[in-house]
Structure formats: C-alpha cells, structure tokens
Structure 1
Amino acid sequence: MLEFADAIKFVTDFVGYMEWPERLSTLTGLIYIVLSVRQNPLCWPFGIVSVGIWMVVVFMGRMYMDSLLNFVYVVLGFYGWYQWLRGGEDKTPLKVQTVDRQLWVRLAAIGVATTIPLGLLSQFVLNASFPWWDTITTVISLIAQYLLAKKYLENWLLWIVADAIYIWLYIAKGWHGYSVLMAVYTFMAVLGFYGWWKSLKADRAAA
C-alpha cells in the first residue's frame, strides 16, 4: 500500500514541476500518438494542438530548428489529416504502404542536403542550443512526419531514432516532462511499427 502511495506521489510531484503549456502539450501529444498507432484520423487535430504549443516553448528555449520543425508539423498535420481521410484511390482512406528504394534515395539526398546548411545556420547565425543535434533530429523528424502523413510503414523506424535522441536533448534542457513524453513516444513507435506491419500484411492478404 505504501509503495502505491509513493508511486502516486511521484507522478503528482512530477506533473507539478511542469508548466501548464508543457502539461497540455504532453497530454494532447500522448492522445495523438495512441490514436496514430491505431490509425485513427482523429490523431491529427490532437497532434496539431500539441506541436503548436510546443513550438512556442522550444522557441523561447532557443532551440530554433526544433521550433521550425513544430511549425512544419502543424502544416503537415492538416496535410496528414486529409491524406488519411481522402488520400487513397478514388479519395478513399489511405492504406499502409512501404517505401521503395527510389524514394529512400531521394529522402536520403534531401536529408543530407538540408542538414548541412541548417546546421551551419543554427550554429553560427542563430547561436542555437545543441545546434547540430537539434538540426539532425529536425531533419529526421520532418522526413518521418511526411512518411507518417502518407502512411508509410517505415516512418516508425525514423521516429524511434529521433525520439531517442530527443530524450537526451530535453533532459539537458531541463524539460523533464517532455523527455518522458519522448520516451513514451519511442516505445509507442515500436508498437506502431508492429501494428502497422500487421495491418499491411492483412491488406495484402485480402488483395
């Protein structure tokens, strides 16, 4: 009984250390990731609210690439919402698909071409916090978000990499609530990959 009470106290104290924007962004972010793993299109409005709030928080913390990333997330949120509802054949709901070799090559080229100039800009012009890690995670996450919006299975693999790095970054910035959220995101990305892979197999078997 004492251990349960201690656990409850830990959670309440942990939440108490968070500012209200972080609490709201964390809550809506958790709802977003659960719904996205379940392929529920309602994930997108929750995701838009979550990243919209966090965009302001990280900008105030001088993580400019992360702030830019979250702005793009807002835009891609509306794009993904439409794609999941009407992006399939004859404007039907989009189904899970996989990335072919040609698309991987294009995405890799885009990643390298954008990481270098954005990293230099972040370090020498913007004087950002953790400029290269901020840039690398930004580029990976943007590619992953595009793949998520188009329901490519491999988006979850990129999220696992990016979210794992963000855990360390947010701890270093003192945003412990969001570092916990990133840990949850990493775990949910693993579940998302497995769930979407099963959905892909079922669709192919039905076809």
Structure 2
Amino acid sequence: MIDPFLTWLSANYVELLGAVLGFAYIFLSIRQHIFTWPVGLLTSALYVYVFLVSKFYADMLLQVYYVGVSIYGWYFWLKGNPNSEKELRVSRMPLKFYFPVILVSVLLFLLFLFGLKYYTDSPVPFGDSLTTALSIVATWMLARKYVEHWLIWIFVDFFSAFLYGFKGLWPTVILFLVYTGMAVYGYRSWRNDLIKQDA
C-alpha cells in the first residue's frame, strides 16, 4: 500500500506542491493579503512545468502570464491608489471597461483556439482556450481589486476541474473544486467589504 503511494508521490510532487500553494494563494487573495502575489508567483512557476508535461499548452502560457501579472499585482496593490498613500481598496469595475474586457476575452479565446487546434496536439483546445482567455482577464481584474473578478473565477474554476479530470490530474481537480467554493466565498467577502466602504 505504501509503495504505490510513494511511487505516485515521487511522480507528482511538483503538482502536489503547486496545489498546496494554490490553496494558500486563494486564501490570501480572499483576505486581500499582499502575500497573495509572491505565493501566486511561485504557484504559477510550478504549474508551468505541470501543464507543459500534461500538454495543456494554453494553460502553461497562462501560468507564464501569471508570473508577470503577480509582479504587477504586487506593485499595484501597494501603490495603485493614485489619490492616497493607502493600499488599493476593493471597487466595482467601471462600466467603461465592460466592453473592452469582453472584446479582449473573445479575441484571446479565438487566438488560443486557433493556435491550439492547428499547431499543437492539445486534447481539449476549446476548453483550454476558454479558461485561459477568461483567466487572463480575471487576473488583471484581481490586480485592480475589481470585485467582479470572483464571478469569472467561479465559472473558470468549476469548468477547469472537469478539464483536469479528463487528463487525470486529480490533485489539481480537487484544487479547482475547492477554488470554486472559495471563489464563491471570496465574492461574498469582497462584496461585503464594498458595502461597508459605501456605507
């Protein structure tokens, strides 16, 4: 009984470590803690390898993007409020950003779908492209502390769990199912903070 577990552990320790750090990342983001970003950066670096090996190429590129946006988010949460020395506060996304965000999401989806379908051996080009495009937009929204980013994550995390199950990435399936529940909790928590700010 021990030997099969140790064999699995030795083959999947990078994914397992990434999943554990992923739990920490989502917990920290709900709490709006600045360590969200360094933990997210490390998580993403590990998942670049996991998704490369599993042939989730768009998700691998997404993790590379996450490494960069973690640096941006780290800075923006500390210095992103131009009217004050205080850290950035939760807000609603301005209406003027809705059309550009939707347009960017669609364009990214089509770009990734074309690339994955015709230039890779990805087994799930549609799903991989959809979750990647939406995740890029949602992470930018997180960096700006727009409360609506949680609504995108609820969908992306739940849908992603099925994709990773298709490839047998079971620690990641569990991670993304937990992410889904935590995204629901995160939305409620941030929305309550917003209500308190507006009161």
Residue number in structure 1 paired with 2:119: 125
* Matched length: 194
Q: TM-score, normalised by structure 1?
A: 0.89
- C-alpha offsets along residues 79-118 of structure 1, whole Å, 9 cap, x if unaligned? 1111111111334200001113221111111111221122
Residue number in structure 2 paired with 1:138: 132
Residue number in structure 1 paired with 2:106: 112
Out of 99-108 and 192-201, give the one that drifted further: 99-108
- The verdict on how the C-alpha distance between 1:14 and 1:159 changes in structure 2, with shifts beyond 3 A counting, is farther
For 2:169 and 2:103, the matched residues in 1 are separated by 32
Moved over 2 A (4+): 13-18, 89-92
For 1:46 and 1:147, the matched residues in 2 are separated by 18
- RMSD between superposed Cα atoms in Å: 1.7
What is the CA distance between 1:14 and its match in structure 2? 8.1
Of 167, 187, 191 in structure 2, the residue corresponding to residue 173 of structure 1 is: 167
Residue number in structure 2 paired with 1:6: none
Out of 108-117 and 16-25, give the one that drifted further: 16-25
Please, which runs of 5 or more residues in structure 2 have no aligned partner?
none
What is the CA distance between 1:56 and its match in structure 2? 1.1
Q: Letter of the aligned partner of 1:147 in structure 2?
A: M
For 1:141 and 1:38, the matched residues in 2 are separated by 20
For 1:118 and 1:15, the matched residues in 2 are separated by 37
Task: Establish whether residue 61 from structure 1 lines up as the match of residue 54 from structure 2.
Answer: yes
- C-alpha offsets along residues 10-57 of structure 1, whole Å, 9 cap, x if unaligned? xxx989845110121111111111111011111111111111101111
Residue number in structure 1 paired with 2:177: 183
Q: Secondary structure at the match of 2:84?
A: helix
For 1:112 and 1:184, the matched residues in 2 are separated by 27
For 2:135 and 2:7, the matched residues in 1 are separated by 29
For 1:91 and 1:32, the matched residues in 2 are separated by 25
For 1:168 and 1:16, the matched residues in 2 are separated by 25
Q: Secondary structure at the match of 1:90?
A: coil
Out of 156-165 and 78-87, give the one that drifted further: 78-87
Out of 45-54 and 90-99, give the one that drifted further: 90-99
Please, which runs of 5 or more residues in structure 1 have no aligned partner?
1-8
